[in-house]
Amino acid sequence: MKFSIKSKQMVVLFLVAFLTFAPSQAVEDTQVNASSEDTALSNQIDEILNDERLDGALAGVSVRSAESGELLYENDGDIRLKPASNMKLLTGAAALETLGPDYTLTTEVLTDGSIKGKKLHGDLYLKGKGDPTLMEDDIKAFAQSVKEAGIQEIKGDLLADDTWYDDIRLSEDISWNDETNYTAAQISALTVSPNEDYDAGTVIVEAYPADAEGEMADVQVIPENDYVEIVNKTETVASDQPKDISIEREHGTNQIVVEGDIPLEGTRSRSWVAVSEPAGLALELFHKALGEEGIKVKGEKRADGKTPESANLLISKESMPLEELFIPFMKLSNNGHAEVLIKEMGKVVHDEGSWDKGLEVVEDFLQDNDVNADTMRLRDGSGMSHVNMIPANELSQLLYQVQAKEWFPAYLKSLPVAGNSDRFVGGTLRYRMGNTAAEDNVQAKTGSLTGVNSLSGYVTTEDGEELIFSIVLNSYLEGVQSIGDEIAVTLAEHNSEAEE
């Protein structure tokens, strides 16, 4: 059969069109479904994402092989989205690389004076170097050591020195109404934690019912101090009445207002409250502890100290190693720890304990490890900022790359474990995905802000394949946490052999 010139032209045009469009379509199909045997998994995830709660929202989803890093599934994986506390995955990895798992943060007591008889002729400094695990008992131990050094009187001033970092207390995108919440505690190089969750820069305020109706509630502060002022506007009401107690710090002050009704013989109300200028609280506790040891301070109590280079070290206390600190940091998603690590990295690498220099260290770490920081916007270490933007594909790429690091076991151990009721194992996932294939299987970092929910980590499928996933959901109006959980469970249940 012979072709006419017109027919030959049509064939040429068809071939040109095929060669132009077919390869790009094939690449697109490969990106979404790495192989035909993954089609069923892709369809399952697509169906989960076809949820009306995501109408008008954004869903960045990325699934990789933990062995090869091959992208097995993605949905808007390159779209920049708010990560919430998934930002801590970046901060934590950079900190372990830059500082090392054995790194500790210290607090020091120094003097620029001399001891003559039982008197210290000079000033005494409490110098912080970022330790978020400093507690009242540690400060009491400092006071005991001062006494053991033979000092019964300090002729000079008692000063707090928090100059190890800069004096910017809050990252730039913290909202006004978050400033008094423990999740946005001020960042200082000298700070105290009220308990072993190590929410540095906060106090715990508890309200208990009085013994009789009409009386004010019994309000207690941990640690007990005069640095914060309690304004008690509560009333104990009949036992059959509802409890309605609010605990709020007045903005710009350290005045904490406790108000409302608490029923007779009812349960306590408890809240963590961020303190304004937390170095002042540490100083207050140190002054109090010295007094309890019978040590008099003749000079002033000042929170603006800068220790002279010539000062002599009397006492120091180291924090737990970084790999141990990562348990409360990542399991409980401690925002303050993330910001301290950012400033510490800036101090160590650039001799400037600031957000700008610390985030520069994070970006350099990402670029050095084949994670594209150029496509991100990083504004803090914790993920509290609504201006952070990270694609899901880059989060999963980070989780792939860090597997080769010597410190990876500590990193992995710090991630919350789905459905494990132990608070320092399950962490923020302890009440999620229980009695599913994900229980004690999924190890992942959670994240939550208004309109933001994220979950990124590791999972082993039913047939033993190890996968990495990142799920970042943005701009929704109704709660979508269950959608991320459903995807994680689907990955845990996946069995490619059963599909063949």
Would you kindly state where each structural domain of the chain is located, as residue ranges? 28-102+323-499, 106-169+277-319, 202-274
What letter represents residue 496's amino acid? S
Active-site residues, by number, are: 85, 88, 333
8: pLDDT strictly greater than 90: no
As a whole number of Å, the end-to-end CA separation of the chain is 44
Q: Is the pLDDT of residue 28 over 60?
A: no
Reply yes or no on whether the pLDDT at 15 is more than 90. Answer: no
CA dist., res. 460 & res. 74, Å (int): 18
Judged against a pLDDT cut of 50, whether residue 320 lies above it is answered with yes
> One-letter amino acid identity for 329?
F
Instruction: Name the token pair of 3.
Output: 């072709």
What is the rounded average pLDDT for all residues in the chain? Answer: 93
Angle at 12 between CA 8 and CA 17, to 5 degrees: 145
Q: What is the pLDDT of residue 497?
A: 74
Q: What is the pLDDT of residue 23?
A: 40
95, two tokens: 């900190």
Give the model's pLDDT for residue 500. Answer: 55
- For β-strands 312-318 and 114-116, DSSP reports them as unpaired
Neighbour count for residue 171 (Cβ, 10 Å): 21
Residues 60 and 391 sit within 8 Å (Cβ to Cβ)? yes
| pLDDT value at residue 499 | 58
CATH topology of domain 106-169+277-319: D-tyrosyl-trna(Tyr) Deacylase; Chain: A; (3.50.80)
CATH number of 28-102+323-499: 3.40.710.10
Question: Is the Cα torsion angle 167, 318, 405, 382 positive or negative in sign?
Answer: negative
What count of other Cβ atoms lies within 10 Å of the Cβ of residue 382?
28
* pLDDT for the residue numbered 234: 98
| H or E stretch covering 471 | strand 466-474
Q: Decide if 442 contacts 488 (C-beta within 8 A).
A: yes
Return the bridge partners of 153, or none: 119, 296
Q: Is 0.85 topped by the overall pTM? A: yes
Residue 397 has pLDDT above 60, yes or no: yes
Structure tokens at 17: 């069109």
Q: Number of C-alpha atoms within 13 angstroms, CB side, residue 90?
A: 40
Beta-ladder partners of 17:
none
Nearest to 109 by CA among 86, 89, 127, 92: 127
Which pLDDT tens digit goes with each residue over 49-91? 999 999 999 999 999 999 999 999 999 999 999 999 999 999 9
| Tens-place pLDDT, residues 339-370 | 999 999 999 999 999 999 999 999 999 999 99
Tell which residue, 219, 201, 202, has the closest CA to residue 210: 219
Closest to 179 (Cα-Cα) out of 393, 299, 335, 42: 335
Q: Distance between CA atoms of 382 and 355, rounded to whole angstroms?
A: 11
- Structural tokens at position 180: 């008094």
In 3D space, the residue among 203, 198, 447 whose CA is nearest the CA of residue 341 turns out to be 198
Please check the confidence at residue 113 and state whether its pLDDT lies above 70: yes
| CA distance linking residue 393 with residue 370, whole number of Å | 12
Q: What is the pLDDT of residue 38?
A: 74
The pLDDT-based confidence of 496 (bands split at 50, 70, 90) is confident
**244-273 per-residue burial string, b: 16 or more CB within 10 A, e: under 16:** ebebbbeeeebebbbbbbbbbebeebebbb
Task: Report the range of poorest mean pLDDT among 6-10, 88-92, 375-379.
Answer: 6-10
Q: Do domains 28-102+323-499 and 106-169+277-319 have the same CATH topology?
A: no
Distance CA 456, CA 146 (A): 48
The DSSP bridge pattern shows strands 229-237 and 255-263 to be parallel
What's the average model confidence in pLDDT over 158-172? 97
- DSSP class of 317: E
